[in-house]
Amino acid sequence: MKLRTHLLALAASATLAATALAAEQPAATSDSPETDASLYGQSVTLPRQAAVCAERIADYMPRFQKFYDAWKTENAARIASGGKFIHEQAAKGGVNADDGMNKLADADVERLHKTSLELLVRHCQLMLDSLAPPAAN
């Protein structure tokens, strides 16, 4: 049971980086399995959050999709590595990784549905900012 709790905590921490109102580039700077797992978590949860944004913000999805597709392509190998790591760790603990990630994404969606339009707009813009490529100097 302790291992399951640890695995769920790992999945949660990997996903929370995507769900927090982060203003930093999600492209990771560390080559650890945990960092790759965080990227995987973002690849799963960000589209679900974007769908909520699109429900209340005109023209949001095309803007999100443009940045998300580029970000996902740039980080594809690391996302795959993170997904493998999450699934391996979950399997060791007898936990279904996909079910766990979906529960976390569902919680994000529920939270965003309940938030004010002002906070939602801010969160959604921060998601776009975090996915955008770094500005050239």
Using pLDDT thresholds of 50, 70 and 90, give the confidence band for residue 135.
confident
pTM (2 d.p.): 0.76
Q: Per-residue pLDDT for 125 more than 70?
A: yes
- Residue 107's identity, in one-letter code, is A
24-55 residue pLDDT tens? 444 445 689 999 999 999 999 999 999 999 99
Q: Return the pLDDT at 37.
A: 94
Run of H or E including 137:
none
Residue 99 buriedness (CB in 10 A; 0-12 / 13-18 / 19+): exposed
